[in-house]
Amino acid sequence: MLKSVVFDLDGVIVDSHPAHMRAWKRFLVAVGKSATEAELEFVRDGRKKEDILRHFLGDLDKDQIRAYGREKDLLFKEEVGSVSTVAGIRDLLNQLNHAGLPMAVASSGSSERVHYVLHILGLGDYFAAVVTGDQVANGKPDPAIFSKAAEKLQVSPGDSLAFEDSVSGVRAARTAGMKCLGIATPPRSQSLLEAGAHGVLSDFLGTSLSQIRKLFL
């Protein structure tokens, strides 16, 4: 039975990937590292910031990760005015809220950035729990972030539905024991299905609570 819903943030609740890509590109240039558009696709895979930094810059100590992470977050804040919610998400959040289903955010982003984005978009009150990348030892595809979200909601992962837009995120949710729907457009939708998503939506327009309950019948 569906008892809770857990959302990734970037690419699921907010259409923020273009802003992130611009911020990461600017950051990498600032530290003397160039990356092609294809290489920057790694940023879209739902990884923790420290994993992205090490991917592009090699082995870094904790102080370097903290400093570089702050620089990148400042660059993102300069871009945040361009982000908007994914189509239809507010309507679905209202349906879930009206039905009394607890909701959580499970994002690889930092706590400061995630709460900042939820605040500026006026979405924070919808969520009974927010779990971020700096609250777990291992990021997606490790299931810890989804397991922690279910624990905070006091719901079994098997009674939870996750919405994800990345391969690592889908794998994390499925490994945690949750059902998962992907949010993506072709050609990325196929990779989410192959990762274990039960289905893929391009956005939330027309998505109803009665439709997603059918996954649990």
The tens digit of pLDDT for each residue in 98-148 reads 999 999 999 998 898 899 999 999 999 999 999 999 999 999 999 999 999
- Closest to 202 (Cα-Cα) out of 31, 118, 103, 87: 87
Query: Do 110 and 65 share a domain, yes or no?
Result: no
Q: How does the average pLDDT of the chain come out, rounded?
A: 94
Query: Do 93 and 76 share a domain, yes or no?
Result: no
Domain that holds residue 211: 4-15+84-216
- Closest to 83 (Cα-Cα) out of 140, 132, 25, 16: 16
The tens digit of pLDDT for each residue in 20-44 reads 889 999 999 999 998 888 888 888 7
The partner residues of 201 in beta bridges, in order of sequence, read 183
Res 139: pLDDT: 92
Encoded amino acid at 125, one letter: D
Report percent pLDDT > 70 for the chain: 100
- Alpha helices (runs of H) in 80-206, residue ranges in sequence order: 89-98, 111-120, 144-153, 167-176, 188-195
pTM of the model: 0.89
**CATH number for the domain including 206?**
3.40.50.1000
Mean of pLDDT values over 66-83: 88
- Closest to 176 (Cα-Cα) out of 152, 210, 209, 211: 152
Query: Do 96 and 56 share a domain, yes or no?
Result: no
Q: What is the largest CA-CA distance in the chain?
A: 53
Res 204: pLDDT: 97
Query: Do 145 and 209 share a domain, yes or no?
Result: yes
Higher pLDDT, 184 or 36: 184
Query: Do 162 and 92 share a domain, yes or no?
Result: yes
Torsion sign, CA atoms 136, 140, 145, 147: negative
How many distinct structural domains can be found in the chain? 2
